[in-house]
A and B are shown apart, each in its own frame.
Chain A
């Protein structure tokens, strides 16, 4: 399963794709089972040059009762820095945030590898 993420152009906020819109919380992200649908969304997102920067697909796995990004890096992007729990998306709290904060998984995703290549 995959999700599509990017940073918003105006403020750098981490955002996720959901059926043509960008949402701020991972719990609202659209999850893609079919690779073709994921890649089509990515291609569409890349054309939205005045909205987001560097859209890329990330791997998502089941972590207990929720879906969570596979990589630790992507989970930090969904939450905020661990040294300042009052900053970033985690500041808003909520069950989805708590669940993500306790999700376990691998720390590298294919999305990230692609990102490094582009830098």
Chain B
């Protein structure tokens, strides 16, 4: 069985790691470079940096932070927020990132996923899907970091991005994000049962128990967490230990 990846998600605004609830009401929680290095040393498997306001303000400003992080952190790094062009991706990779997460631009121009995966390989292209529940077993995709509804059905969109060439999906639940009430199980089950590319579940994790419930009941490949780590609710070591105790394979 494949190892489940334990991922730290750092949402960034104006050079600070921030955390909100439902992607709103953002509060500063620390310095991205210090936190990235700390989580790396504590054994995180991967780090995702998301520019929380890039898509909204039409800019892309993470490269300095990424460049600095990549000098201290020797695990895979994904960068998202404001990625609009092939040049944006090239810039992120040149800074030391391994993958880029794309949401808004893919909704505006789905063929961007295909173009990007043809140039950089699908392993490099993470489709970031931000979902808000609208009915039982039905979710709508949002863009601009969860601000704008699109009218697009998340399940249809997930299948579409897979066929367009995305290598992974990062699935964020707006409803659960920042709430520390656990992952949106139905959402993660629904998406992971219809696509065969790896899925990173994001939004809602408080502690290892939430990850265990999710992983035991879905085909999810990776769990992203923010509050758990930023607010020191549980250590990375303890999370991995708990996963192992529950027969979920992780890197130790």
* A and B pair up: no
Q: Which residues of B contact A (CB under 8 A)?
A: none
Residues of A within 8 A of B (CB): none
